Amino acid sequence: MAARRAVPKARPTAATTRRTGWQQTSSGARRRLRRLALATLAAACLGHVATAAAQPIYPIPDADGFYAAPSDPAGFQPGDVLRSRVVPTAIFPGSTVWQLLFRTVDSAGEPIAAVTTVLVPPGGGLDRPLVSYQPFVNSLGMQCAPSHSLFDGGMREAAALNLLLARGWAVAVPDHLGPVSAYGAAQLGGRITLDGLRAAKRFAPTGLANSPVGLAGYSGGGMATGFAAAIAPEYAPELPLVGVAMGGVTVNIGKLARDLGARPNPLFGLGFAAAMGLEREYPGQMEMSRILNPSGRALRDQIANACAEEIISAGANRSFSDVLDGELEADPSTVRVLEENSLETFPAVPRAPVYQWHGENDEVDLDLVREVTGRYCRAGTPVQFDVIPGADHGDAIIQGAPRAFVYLSDRFAGLPAPSNC
């Protein structure tokens, strides 16, 4: 396997940031990019692999030293708190907001550090119900992470978390894309979610050591939620997981990318960005960069540090034929990576009760979601599956989220889980 980019060990300096020429748009950077393209062409003509062009582009590291991993993360257990701080904010009145840097594991089995933001309602933790909410980040830049967007207006649903706090619940919001914003790496998101919950419960000042746990997420956040639920019985069996609520879940990321990229599509940028994120998480296995044409390399460079809206705008109405000189699914290792991050092809099954919802007119394939929920039902997991009539992907979150939180409330109350399997 190719060497992974290490989690930063120290706060990057301004000079370090200036040296990240791949992510800059200065005339000098553009000249370097043109020279690299010519070198790539020359190497291809000689029959050699253009390794520089084929390497993943990682995001500019977060300038806040809080996010830097310690020098010895392997000396800690998954979920151990490495660093903590209180975040003063008026967005969640009366609540105490903690940010925790904790140890988790990447897709190569290596220790890394990730962040979760824990909102504790007025009065303290008191072993209240704890919900891990996974936002739909869909981004490649570190500034887009929930630990930032909760407070800078980037997360549109941030204020709505007050509704959960008003129920007396504590809320954990993990940066589930990890320390290199590996959008698309849903299995990584599941591990980060579970280790974030471990961190929240182990950190004594939150008062959540004995709290029952629920999971919730939509779209990209639903993918991390689904994987957290599926791997929890083996990866974190000690967590008292009482219920899972997820909606608009892409259960096969490869098929969605194919659907978005087969012809010009306004959301093509998201599929392209997911391939970039997987390449970051699986260097040497997921190698989209090897088959990018000049237009594809330009798009890759443009969105390497972008949030969702910029990604969608930059990639609007393109297709894979516009940016690739080959097919992603022609490479067996790429297929394996996609399958490892797709609930449809991932064999593990949630054991906690599941509420799942999906829009009838969602761009994400409803039939595939039905197949996955059917497999969970056959394995004995109680599943309540709701199809929102007439709703597309954007509408379904608004209509389904209230039902999802009522569902979790009933699980916290110990009521029997409904099922329409």
Predicted confidence (pLDDT) per residue in 61-81, tens digit:
999 999 999 988 888 999 999
What is the secondary structure of 283-322 as a DSSP string?
TTTS-GGGGB-HHHHHHHHHHTT--HHHHHHHHTTB-HHH
What is the secondary structure of 231-275 as a DSSP string?
HHHHH-TTS-EEEEEEES--S-HHHHHHHHHSS-BTTHHHHHHHH
Token reading at 276: 């970039």
Q: What is the structure's pLDDT at 51?
A: 42
Tell me the per-residue pLDDT of 274-290, one tens digit each, with 9 for 90 and over.
999 999 999 999 878 88
CB 362 within 8 A of CB 274: no
Tell me the per-residue pLDDT of 130-162, one tens digit each, with 9 for 90 and over.
999 999 999 999 999 999 999 999 998 999 999
C-alpha to C-alpha distance for 170 and 120, rounded to whole angstroms: 5
Q: Which residues pair with 215 in a beta bridge?
A: 132, 244
Report the mean per-residue pLDDT for the chain: 88
Tell me the per-residue pLDDT of 372-413, one tens digit each, with 9 for 90 and over.
999 999 999 999 999 999 999 999 999 999 999 999 999 999
Q: Which is it for the CA torsion 210, 208, 216, 134, positive or negative?
A: negative
C-alpha to C-alpha distance for 176 and 182, rounded to whole angstroms: 9
Tell me the per-residue pLDDT of 81-112, one tens digit each, with 9 for 90 and over.
999 999 999 999 999 999 999 999 999 999 99
User: Looking at residue 324, what DSSP letter applies?
Assistant: B
Residue 29 predicted with pLDDT over 80: no
> What mean pLDDT comes out for the span 200-224?
97
> What mean pLDDT comes out for the span 167-182?
98
pTM over 0.75: yes
C-alpha to C-alpha distance for 155 and 151, rounded to whole angstroms: 8
Tell me what percent of the residues of the chain surpass a pLDDT of 90: 78
Q: Which amino acid is at 299?
A: L
Q: How far apart are the first and last CA of the chain?
A: 42
Which distant-in-sequence residues (6+ apart) come within 8 Å of 158 by Cβ? 91, 149, 150, 151
Tell me the per-residue pLDDT of 250-265, one tens digit each, with 9 for 90 and over.
999 888 877 778 889 9
Q: What is the structure's pLDDT at 73?
A: 85
Q: What is the structure's pLDDT at 9?
A: 39
The pLDDT confidence band at residue 24, using thresholds 50, 70 and 90, is very low
Residue 8 predicted with pLDDT over 80: no
Q: What is the structure's pLDDT at 319?
A: 94
